[in-house]
Structure 1
Amino acid sequence: MVSAVRTVLGEVAADRLGVVDAHDHLFIRSPLLPGQELADVGRAAAALGAFGELGGGTVVQWTPYGMGRRVAELPALSRGFGVHVIAATGLHQAAHYPDELIRRVRDRLTELFVTELTEGIGATGVRAGLIKVAGGFHGLDDHATFTMRAAADAHHFTGAPIAVHLELGTGALDVLDLLCGQLGVAPGSVILGHLNRSPDFAVHRLAAEAGAHLAFDGPSRGNHATDWRMPEALAALADAGFADRLLLGGDTVTPDTPGMPYLLRRVRPRLALTLGDELVDRILVANPARAYAW
């Protein structure tokens, strides 16, 4: 049986995704980023169109519940540019939400995730293709633990992959201890995001050995040793036999982020100098097809 990925236009065979931006945002808003929301349909269209013109085939939007996903806009954007889009359910760190929203969903979190995965998000009829949750800085607080328990329950019910925001790239092993060690999620169903933001090669190696997918996503910011260490980090993992664990994404979160075309226009050729074109293509095509398949 051919494995399938849940896109906003329905299920697509995993081997039909093409080049994948494994973690990005067409729409997102947060009270932590006042005035920097991504909410303009025209901007999203321009970004998706540019990504497609550069050979992009699929964008995975990690924007979870309550953060301005604008899911109703996604099918038309996907259809109009011929680029697959995958939407997310899930819940981010508590700081990204009003307290009232957290109280409203806390007692029905598993039900919310399952509904959005199986029936659709709100009245849109669009079903989510992954569950997005988040850890804390070098650990897991009560909110992260509660949210990940609900994500694990929803995963066991549906088979959906779980994508995890790692705060500044930290806490990967704590996440795996909880999701995989305690809650029984298969490591191959877990995608760890932002590992490039903490260039700890030992942690990268341990997470890869555990069987998780490792996402290196988003351009560097002023205080992050990100871009210039990423080729070395990916090469170390590939040399150790974990090339099939690696994913790449753009993580566009504010209007001043370089944007998803940057992944193919600048990051891809830079990585090819170290890894070679064949391996970079594998990371962009074959690996995400496996990571996001149900």
Structure 2
Amino acid sequence: MKKLENKVAIVTGAGRGIGREIALLLAREGAKVVVNDLGGGADGKGNNAKVADEVVQEIRETGGTAAANYDSVAEFENASNIVQTALNEFGRLDIVVNNAGILRDRMVFKMSEEEWDSVIAVHLKGSFNMTRVAAPIFKEQKGGRFINFTSTSGLIGNVGQANYAAAKLGIAGLTKITALDMARYNVTANAVAPFAWSRLIGTIPTETDTEKERVEKLKQMSPAHIAPLVAFLSSDESADVSGQIFGVRGKEIMVFSQPRPVRSVYNSEGWSIDSISAIKGSLQSAFTPLEVSKDVFPYEPLV
């Protein structure tokens, strides 16, 4: 029996890249899939219904079951429409994969309010919107799966992505609290940080030889590598896995640490600028270096 037989899944941003591969694999594992994608560009602009329709057709041609939805997750009322599509077409909902995303990269001292708001709206608010609408259904049926997408841009850091990093680290927090709030109802929530070539990563500048070499390495990491972990987290096999942050880098799967105290100091008389300055060195040994993702993952991906 297929691992997701009789399950119904929503995959947002499922028209291309990682979302498409997830939708295809969930369908192959027996899930009925709502393919959500408004068909916009990497910056979120534009609308092309064919993007979702083509994935639906591909699923159907291989014997699967799917329906398209073209709403943007950035608006709360649209989340209701997306969930209602699943209920209208397939009668239930078991899995929500919050994958939709856009990029508006800019150095923080140049970033506009619109560039900030649009990225936060799609990634962070969009993930909340879908979670908020689906959670009562999962609560009532005492079961469900949320798989959210975070990024090393937020978990570690990347230059010029204040909006994206803030959204993605916010999604890590949303995932944790969703896992806590929904645990008593047999609902899990986990986050995945993907390393894979996609149209979003395709916006990386390639002006120098170093940049070109980096992009060529990224192109080796297929979006298809991400889908099996998402399928596992969607299945009954993962009932005891919740509140975790995973990474997929080629054929490597990792679990990320989450913030915990690593060093502390105590002063019975309280603290002043001078007394903190005096013990600064004992804390500095535990400071996290100011790094970007490629500093933490300098080795070649296992593809």
Class of the TM-score when normalised by the shorter of the 2 chains: 0.3 to 0.5
TM-score (structure 2 length as normaliser): 0.36
Larger radius of gyration: 2
Bigger relative CO (Cα 8 Å, ≥ 6 apart):
1
